[in-house]
Amino acid sequence: MTRLRDDYEHSRYRKFKRWYDGEVNLLEDVMDVTLPDGKQEGQKESRSAGPSGSPALEARRKASEAVYGPEVWPQRETVDYAQWRRHAQEALEARIHPDGYFGAGGRPGNGPAETAARGLRRFRRFYQVMSVILCMMIIAVFLWTTIHLPPFGGADNPANNEVPARYIESGLAETGAINFVTGMILDYRAFDTFGESCVLFIASCCVLVLLRIDASNGTSRARSRGPQEDDRLFEPKNDVILQRAAFILVPLILVFGVYIVLNGHLSPGGGFSGGAVLGSGLILYLNAFGFAKTERFFTEKVYRRVTLCALTFYCLAKSYSFFTGANHLESGIPLGTPGAILSSGLILPLNICVGLVVMCTMYAFYTLFRKGGM
Amino acid sequence: MKVFEILLLVSLIVCAVSVAVIRDLLTSIIIFMSYSLIMCVIWVLLQSPDLAITEAAVGAGVTSILFFVTLKKIRAIRKEDDRDDEA
């Protein structure tokens, strides 16, 4: 997926990094932007072998001495950072009180450090008091709003306007779904649901970007993590109780999830809840039997294809239906008899799409958190 | 039924406050799970069973599991052997 850059050594970031590490002088690089190869190798050696490098480096050092004097270049190369950090740490500890505030070396007085410590303490007290007051104010505002809400299920509530009336009166005839919540979110408001599915997909993409450990590119990073941090090596746990429970529960959970998805237009449920149930069942199966079993049927390739197909089908199907609906054309999608499993037009396939996307997202979250891959 | 609802709401508030107050992260997550379960029952009482299914699967299941995995990754949960030694 990622292509390695051939001219990485000449990139701006690399140049900035070298300048930041103190290897090169920025003013010299302005003169010759494309460094010859011999000079770069000399610099690489100089990082490991100290100042006595290649002749190109010697030439650079002479040029630097001519500009800055004899002291600058060797100093820049041989700074002992560990020693310097130790000195800084000691100097810092000498000025810090045991309770964590800055003080003037433990000596009582009215120095600037003492004043700063007192100010910090005052600020912390002020911060605590203000946060409590703010929290109380928010609670009071919420309670005050709740008191003035209309009663639950009242007939005169402002939510009872013409929109739910339309849904309730003609929802069954227009969508063909008995459960008109599903009919609402997958027919009248199908565009919102498409946005939600895309949000889930984008969220899993972000987790993938942040947590993925690439087998081909990040080998050094994966090796440096050490075996005890790699969760996969301890799989499966062979927990007998968990495996027995999962042996009974996982088929039930998966069948229940499939039932919720397929019956979304007939009974309460739908793509989101069914997909979440399916994802939890898969996670339970993974916990009980390990990655080796789940990777037989659910890999990253499967995830990519399933998610892509589901989202593309949703987009195309709803685009077609919106296009025909906006132009007052016959869509040609039969609504069927209400109550049958194959009814209500596009709602059943759209439910399956949403369920697949949600299931894949849940499972992908878990595996990415667990081992940084699928 | 009214008493049952009031009981549920009171325990919901207790759970919500104690999640924020308790210092042990593992205990806090388990209380958060029970918060989601109570919320799930309340959704059923409010006649929205689809939300109840989602709340049980996402709130009590997946979210808590992700919290557990994160705590294990940042080593906020000790190994099982240590806990056995303490007990």
**What is the value of ipTM here, to two decimals?**
0.84
State the pLDDT at residue A52.
45
What domain count does chain A have?
Answer: 3
Q: Which of A219-233, A238-252, A277-291, A360-374 has the lowest mean pLDDT?
A: A219-233
Question: Same domain for A195 and A284?
Answer: yes
Question: C-alpha distances in angstroms, A74 versus A17, A43, A79, A210, A287?
Answer: 19, 14, 9, 40, 57
Kindly identify which residue of chain B lies nearest to residue A362, measuring between CA atoms.
B62
Inter-chain residue contact A366 with B65, CB threshold 8 Å: yes
Of A141, A170, A194, which closes a domain?
Answer: A141
The structure tokens listed for A23 are 């290897």
- Owning domain of residue A62: 8-77
Question: Same domain for A136 and A16?
Answer: no
Could you give the CA distance from residue A70 to residue A233 in angstroms, rounded to a whole number? 55
pLDDT digits (tens, 9 = 90+) for B45-85: 988 888 899 899 988 889 998 998 888 878 776 655 454 44
State the pLDDT at residue A344.
77
- Is A166 among the domain residues? no
Question: Same domain for A47 and A189?
Answer: no
The shortest CB-CB distance from A273 to any of B53, B65, B66 is to B53
Q: Which residue has the higher pLDDT, A339 or A23?
A: A339
State the pLDDT at residue A53.
47
Question: Same domain for A12 and A115?
Answer: no
State the pLDDT at residue A290.
81
State the pLDDT at residue A202.
92
Q: Which residue has the higher pLDDT, A65 or A208?
A: A208
Mean pLDDT across A204-219: 74
A234 DSSP assignment: G
- Is A174 among the domain residues? no
- Is A32 among the domain residues? yes
State the pLDDT at residue A216.
56
Tell which residue, A369, A371, A372, A367, has the closest CA to residue A286: A367
State the pLDDT at residue A306.
92
Q: Where are the domains of chain B?
A: 2-86
Question: Same domain for A344 and A251?
Answer: yes
Q: What residues in B contact A207, CB-CB < 8 Å? A: none
Helix-strand-coil split of chain A, %, nearest 5: 70, 0, 30
pLDDT digits (tens, 9 = 90+) for B2-35: 899 999 999 999 999 999 889 888 999 999 999 9
The shortest CB-CB distance from A276 to any of B49, B54, B70 is to B54
Residues in chain B: 87
Tokens 């109380």 sit on residue: A136
Could you give the CA distance from residue A120 to residue A122 in angstroms, rounded to a whole number? 5
Q: Mention every residue, 6+ apart, whose C-beta is less than 8 A from residue A351.
A: A182, A186, A261, A262, A264, A265, A270, A271, A274
The shortest CB-CB distance from A273 to any of B57, B65, B66 is to B57
Q: What residues in B contact A362, CB-CB < 8 Å? A: 58, 62
A348: alpha, beta or left, given left = phi > 0 and alpha = psi -120 to 50?
A: alpha
Q: What residues in A contact B61, CB-CB < 8 Å? A: 276, 280, 283
What's the pTM value of the predicted model, to 2 decimals? 0.66
Q: What residues in A contact B57, CB-CB < 8 Å? A: 273, 276-277, 279-280
Question: Same domain for A51 and A115?
Answer: no
State the pLDDT at residue A77.
45
Question: Same domain for A128 and A33?
Answer: no
Question: Same domain for A39 and A69?
Answer: yes
The mean pLDDT value of chain A amounts to: 75
Could you give the CA distance from residue A265 to residue A333 in angstroms, rounded to a whole number? 16
The shortest CB-CB distance from B69 to any of A260, A280, A370 is to A370
Q: Could you tell me the pLDDT band of residue A310, with boundaries at 50, 70 and 90? A: very high
Q: Could you tell me the pLDDT band of residue B87, with boundaries at 50, 70 and 90? A: very low
pLDDT digits (tens, 9 = 90+) for A9-58: 667 777 767 766 666 655 554 444 444 444 444 444 444 444 444 555 56
Q: What residues in A contact B73, CB-CB < 8 Å? A: 369
- Is A68 among the domain residues? yes
- Is A357 among the domain residues? yes
pLDDT digits (tens, 9 = 90+) for A135-168: 999 999 999 999 888 887 777 888 888 888 888 8
